Structure 1
Amino acid sequence: MGRSRKKEAILQVAERLFYEHGFRGVGLKQIINEADVATMTIYNHFSSKDNLVEEVLKQREERYWSYLDEYVEMDSDSPFLLAVEAHGRFLKEQSYKGCMFLRAIEDYAGTDNEIETIARGHKSKLLNYFQLLAQRKGKDNERDIANQFTLLLEGATSMTTLVGAEQATDYSITMARMLVRHTS
């Protein structure tokens, strides 16, 4: 197992444990045990637990955007609907217990750290993404549209913990269709 494979293993285990038990509920010892690496290995790759959390969030964000990039044809008739579908797929496969970024914002709020910055950045990136889509579609109220679709996706993520990803996605697609008709 090469160095980078060990780093991957640590990130994978850490993400799963943080997602299942929260950031505060998981210590480095548990990650070391489950990733089956030496204590020194974790410190070779990450300067601290906070640094590990940062890397986990960055990796998760990259994965999220790869879902959207893979799914959304910018020039299709309704890239908005495609984005909502892509988000739904991410929920089903990666985010069935609510939003890890939101949890990071809650857990690390007000502590002036990179973690909260990364998590908040993820949210504003989504707003910008929809604003860009709206501009490309020639909409003049792109800020409203961006806020509405971001709210829709955030709502779907929250509802996932209550009704499951499948159902939350179905609701969000229905609402997205109404929004698209309303804004065209």
Structure 2
Amino acid sequence: MSKSIKKKAILKSAESLFYNHGFHAVGMKRVIEEANVAGMTVYNHFTSKERLIEEVLKQCEIQYWNYLHASVEKNPRTPFLQIVKGHGKWMNEKGKNGCMFLRALEEYADTDNQIEAIVRNHKNDLFQYIESIALKQGLTQCDTIASQIMLLLEGATSSAEIFGPEKAEEQAIYMLESLLLSWRIM
């Protein structure tokens, strides 16, 4: 197995383990076993568990943005709806158990690491992305619009754990339609 393939196996195993069991609950030994690699292989790629978590979060962020951008590019005339649909697809395929980013923040808040910064930057980048779309649409109060859509997305993610991702997406779209009417842009 090449170095690149081994690194991908480690990241895939770690992502699944961290997402399903929590960051603190999963040790490096379990990641090594799940990825079916030698311990030295893991430590050649990641100097610590925190570096591995950082890389997992960065990979998740790339994947998330791919879902959002693909959805918005599919129908750029309705970008807010496409953001919700892209987020819904993400929930259906990757986020049935809630938000990995917020879980990481929960477990690593107020500690000396980059994990908290990665999570906060991800959420801030999403806010700014939504705000920039509102601005391009010629809307006023773009920060309020971005805040409302962020709350809608975060609420849908939380609801996916309880009601399932399909129902959460359906309700998020319904709520967005109400917001669009209140902004008079439907």
TM-score by length of 1: 0.97
1:46 corresponds in structure 2 to 46
Shift of 1:166: 0.6
Aligned residues: 184
Find the aligned partners of 1:147 and 1:157 in 2 and give their Cα distance.
15
User: Amino acid of the residue matched to residue 150 of structure 2?
Assistant: T
In the alignment, does 2:127 pair up with 1:102?
no
Which ranges in structure 1 are unaligned for 5 or more consecutive residues? none
Find the aligned partners of 1:39 and 1:113 in 2 and give their Cα distance.
23
Find the aligned partners of 1:36 and 1:74 in 2 and give their Cα distance.
38
8 Å Cα contact 2:88/2:166 also seen in 1: yes
Q: Percent of counterpart pairs with the same letter?
A: 50
After superposition, the CA RMSD in angstroms is 1.1
User: Amino acid of the residue matched to residue 53 of structure 1?
Assistant: I
Deviation readout 1:45-89 (Å, 9 max, x if unpaired): 001000000000000000000001111039733200010000000
1:64 corresponds in structure 2 to 64
8 Å Cα contact 2:10/2:42 also seen in 1: yes
Find the aligned partners of 1:95 and 1:54 in 2 and give their Cα distance.
18
User: Amino acid of the residue matched to residue 33 of structure 1?
Assistant: E
8 Å Cα contact 1:74/1:133 also seen in 2: no
User: Which aligned segments of 4 or more residues in structure 1 are displaced greater than 2 angstroms?
Assistant: 73-77
Deviation readout 1:13-64 (Å, 9 max, x if unpaired): 0000000000011000011011110110001000100000000000000000
1:114 corresponds in structure 2 to 114
Shift of 1:181: 1.6
TM-score by length of 2: 0.96
Change (3 A) 1:74 1:126: farther
Find the aligned partners of 2:56 and 2:117 in 1 and give their Cα distance.
14
